[in-house]
């Protein structure tokens, strides 16, 4: 008679967390940066059709990394929840905190239930207020943890390297172009396996950028920033101390190991965004 | 903020992909929120709530203008003097409502959410015809209430980004959708307004000219229809006017409308029936 192996709950949770983290680390990073007029979200995304950053409601945006089908479902659920709330009550009654809470409960339940595989996603829920002090930025992890972030935050693949760059270079109350420049430079920050800096200039067409801009006159404050505008806002770019490298020349992944940052797109049909 | 039920988690149905229509989603998940899904006892109920009256719309090269008077009536009583009956539906379209005011306003809210919802879920806006059809579906859902006297007959207008022109759609109570050319009107004063539009409308109107034409038409409607409100000079209440061009839609400011209304009224002081149209086409140029 065969007996099922005993797996301790600690080990079970650790395995599930490792699984989710491994999936997430294969995707590119996403940064959220608070600037004078709102919150800027930016990521490297080679796809023009599949968005990682989206509008949820008047003042609320959603950004995610990881497995596309999973975070897309969460995004749609968020839009439905927000629209239903706003329709049943009032537009002002739709809040980022409530949405982050619903996501957290959902992700937490999926993570700890034995039946489903954990979602391989990390999420930002951003909401702007009338003043920078009222802005809110929530970072949610695959297991439903919520962190209330201030200033800047990073999710996805190389988040420690990118966050390290932002910690050094982020300034409060920056203008849009200043915030975009620091965000894009942070996304391009990478280090080779010896820990030396090996920065890349990410082509404008591979950037997905959107803002929640409180200066917009419409009630809907979300706006995508088109490539031409990104180009104009960024101005002249040069890597600080490395030759310009295209995405293909990113440090070759050491065989068997997870590449430290920004792996070239995986072509096995199992890609993470 | 959770679904309206109280469970903090997102319900499974919310996570199902597929439906990009908000109204369809509501009819599955919260049918009681839909304006038309109400069990009402038999009999006429049209006198229960105020009625909105006249809406007019006219196209001009590069856009469309829609205007509505500010009166709501309940039988012989003026229920409200400053009701808003023309609403932006999204950036490039607007909707004006005539009929049972409460249901109509709720239907507009649903329609606005419907368009925004589709845009957010699909990442692209509906075509102008698509929007017009969605509105038709919402009106069709209201047929039961319409038969009890609570009719909603909107007028829909928008700028078609594909063909680069303003377009107008009218509806009947069963959800029939009809595209109109040049101009149209709906509501109790619509017959008089349309007669006025017929005589004043020209194909080469400027934005200012189109605004003046719709204000004249509403004046004529109010002149002969007791349920349509004319310009209220003592309270300074003037029509709500919405203009849509390739740059998007905007409501014309109170001051600007007041200026046009004052000019129209000044003209009527001399000639109460409004501007005289030439007897035969082309006479104007000869004169």
Q: Does A264 fall in a domain?
A: no
SS3 per-residue string spanning B204-269: CCCHHHHHHHHHHHHHHHHHHCCCCCCCECCCCECCEEEEEECCEEEECCHHHHHHHHHHHHHHHH
pLDDT at residue B284 above 90? no
Q: What are the extents of the domains in chain B?
A: 48-273
Q: Does A271 fall in a domain?
A: no
| Binary contact (B17, A72; C-beta < 8 A) | yes
Three-class DSSP category at A209:
strand
Shortest distance between the Cα of B228 and any Cα of chain A, in A, equals 30
Q: Say how many CA atoms lie within 13 Å of B138 toward its Cβ.
A: 30
pLDDT at position A106 is: 93
Task: Tell me if B73 sits within 8 A of B102, measured CB to CB.
Answer: no
| Binary contact (A87, B29; C-beta < 8 A) | no
Q: Which residues of A touch B21 (CB under 8 A)?
A: none
pLDDT at residue A269 above 60? no
| Token duo for residue B214 | 């719709």
User: Hey, which CATH number is domain B48-273, 3.30.70.120, 3.40.50.970, 3.40.1480.10, 3.60.20.10?
Assistant: 3.60.20.10
| Token duo for residue A29 | 């990073």
Q: How far apart are the C-alpha atoms of B269 and B186, rounded to whole Å? A: 27
Q: Does A119 fall in a domain?
A: yes
pLDDT at position B151 is: 85
pLDDT at position A264 is: 44
pLDDT at position B5 is: 62
**Which is nearest to A149 in space by CA: A48, A38, A33, A235?**
A33
pLDDT-derived band at B36 (thresholds 50, 70, 90) equals: confident
Instruction: Report B:191-250 residues touching A (Cβ under 8 A).
Output: none
pLDDT at position A273 is: 75
Q: In chain A, what percentage of residues exceed pLDDT 70?
A: 84
| Binary contact (B3, A86; C-beta < 8 A) | no
- Top residue of A50, A102, A144 to mutate, by most chain B CBs within 10 Å, is A102
Highest mean pLDDT among A259-263, B194-198, B279-283: B194-198
Q: What residue of B is the nearest CA neighbor of A88?
A: B33
| Token duo for residue B263 | 């000019």
Mean pLDDT of A173-192: 87
A60: contact with B, CB 8 A cutoff: no
Q: Which residues of A touch B18 (CB under 8 A)?
A: none
Q: Which residues of A touch B121 (CB under 8 A)?
A: 76, 79
Average pLDDT of chain B, as a whole number: 90
Q: How many CB atoms lie within 10 A of CB A216?
A: 14
pLDDT at residue A253 above 50? no
pLDDT at position A126 is: 96
**Which is nearest to A99 in space by CA: A67, A125, A73?**
A125
Strand ranges inside A25-120, DSSP E: 30-35, 38-44, 53-57, 60-66
pLDDT at residue A22 above 70? yes
pLDDT at position A247 is: 42
Q: What residue of B is the nearest CA neighbor of A48?
A: B123
Per the model's pLDDT, the better-predicted residue between A252 and A102 turns out to be: A102
pLDDT at residue A31 above 90? yes
* All residues at 6 or more sequence positions from B207 whose CB lies less than 8 Å from its CB, including other chains: B60, B63, B65, B243, B245
Contacts 24+ apart (CB under 8 A), B274-280: B274/B196, B274/B200, B274/B216, B274/B219, B274/B220, B275/B200, B275/B216, B277/B199, B277/B200
List the single range of A32-36, A187-191, A222-226, B258-262 with lowest mean pLDDT: A187-191
Per the model's pLDDT, the better-predicted residue between A13 and B86 turns out to be: B86
From the list B40, B53, B186, B281, the catalytic residue is: B53
pLDDT-derived band at B277 (thresholds 50, 70, 90) equals: confident
pLDDT at position B224 is: 94
Burial B52-66 (b: 16+ CB within 10 A, else e): bbbbbbbbbeebbbb
* Domain CATH for A188: 3.60.20.10
Per the model's pLDDT, the better-predicted residue between B261 and B12 turns out to be: B261
Instruction: State ipTM.
Output: 0.88
Q: How far apart are the C-alpha atoms of B135 and A4, rounded to whole Å? A: 58
SS3 per-residue string spanning A178-197: HHHHHHHHHHHCCECCCCCE
B22: contact with A, CB 8 A cutoff: yes
A112: contact with B, CB 8 A cutoff: no
| Domain region containing A80 | 23-234
Q: Does A273 fall in a domain?
A: no
Q: Tell me how many domains chain A contains.
A: 1
pLDDT at position B6 is: 67
Q: Does A73 fall in a domain?
A: yes
| Binary contact (A81, B2; C-beta < 8 A) | yes
Strand ranges inside chain B, DSSP E: 51-52, 55-60, 63-68, 72-74, 77-80, 86-90, 93-96, 99-100, 155-160, 165-171, 177-180, 183-186, 240-245, 248-251
List the single range of A107-121, A169-183, B35-49, B97-111 with lowest mean pLDDT: B35-49
Average pLDDT of chain A, as a whole number: 84
Concerning whether B174 is annotated as a catalytic residue, the answer is: no
List the single range of A55-59, A252-256, A261-265, B257-261 with lowest mean pLDDT: A252-256
Shortest distance between the Cα of B10 and any Cα of chain A, in A, equals 6
Q: Does A115 fall in a domain?
A: yes
């Amino acid at each position: 008679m065969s007996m099922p192996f005993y797996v301790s709950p600690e080990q079970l949770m650790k395995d599930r967390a490792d699984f989710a983290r491994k999936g997430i680390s294969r995707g590119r990073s996403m940064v959220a940066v608070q600037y004078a007029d709102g919150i800027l979200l930016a990521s490297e995304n080679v796809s023009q059709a599949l968005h990682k950053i989206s509008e949820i409601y008047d003042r609320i945006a959603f950004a995610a990394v990881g497995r596309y089908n999973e975070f897309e479902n969460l995004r749609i659920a968020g839009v439905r929840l927000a629209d239903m709330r706003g329709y049943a009550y009032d537009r002002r009654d739709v809040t980022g905190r409530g949405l982050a809470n619903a996501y957290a409960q959902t992700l937490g339940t999926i993570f700890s239930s034995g039946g489903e595989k954990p979602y391989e996603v990390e999420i930002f829920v951003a909401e702007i207020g009338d003043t920078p002090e009222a802005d809110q930025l929530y970072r949610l992890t695959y297991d439903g943890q919520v962190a209330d972030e201030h200033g800047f935050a990073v999710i996805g693949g190389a988040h420690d390297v990118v966050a390290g760059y932002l910690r050094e270079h982020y300034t409060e109350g920056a203008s849009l172009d200043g915030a975009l420049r620091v965000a894009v430079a942070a996304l391009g920050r990478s280090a080779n396996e010896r820990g030396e800096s090996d920065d890349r200039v990410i082509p404008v067409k591979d950037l997905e950028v959107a803002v929640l801009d409180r200066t917009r006159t419409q009630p809907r404050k979300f706006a995508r920033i088109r490539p031409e505008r990104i180009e104009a806002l960024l101005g002249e770019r040069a890597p600080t101390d490395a030759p310009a490298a295209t995405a293909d020349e990113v440090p070759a992944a050491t065989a068997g190991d997870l590449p430290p940052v920004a792996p070239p797109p995986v072509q096995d049909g199992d890609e993470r965004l | 903020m959770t679904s309206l039920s109280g469970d903090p988690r997102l319900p499974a149905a919310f996570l199902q992909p597929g439906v990009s229509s908000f109204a369809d989603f509501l009819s599955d998940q919260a049918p009681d929120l839909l304006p038309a899904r109400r069990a009402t006892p038999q009999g006429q109920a049209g006198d229960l709530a105020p009625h909105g009256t006249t809406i007019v719309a006219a196209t001009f090269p590069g856009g469309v203008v829609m205007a509505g008077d500010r009166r709501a009536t309940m039988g012989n009583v003026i229920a409200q003097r400053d009701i808003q009956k023309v609403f932006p539906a999204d950036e490039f379209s607007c909707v004006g409502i005539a009929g049972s005011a409460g249901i109509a306003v709720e239907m507009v809210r649903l329609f606005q959410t419907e368009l925004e919802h589709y845009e957010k879920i699909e990442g692209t806006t509906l075509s102008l015809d698509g929007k017009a059809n969605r509105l038709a579906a919402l009106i069709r859902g209201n047929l039961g209430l319409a038969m009890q006297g609570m009719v909603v007959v909107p007028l829909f207008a928008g700028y078609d980004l594909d063909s680069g022109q303003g377009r107008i759609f009218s509806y009947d109570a069963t959800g029939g959708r009809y595209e109109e050319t040049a101009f149209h009107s709906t509501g109790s004063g619509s017959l008089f307004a349309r007669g006025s539009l017929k005589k004043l409308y020209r194909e080469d109107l400027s934005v200012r000219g189109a605004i003046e034409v719709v204000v004249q038409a509403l004046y004529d409607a109010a002149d002969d229809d007791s349920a349509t409100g004319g310009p209220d000079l003592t309270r300074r209440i003037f029509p709500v006017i919405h203009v849509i061009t390739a740059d998007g839609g905007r409501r014309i400011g109170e001051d600007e409308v007041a200026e046009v209304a004052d000019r129209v009224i000044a003209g009527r002081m001399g000639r109460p029936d409004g501007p005289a149209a030439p007897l035969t086409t082309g006479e104007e140029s000869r004169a």
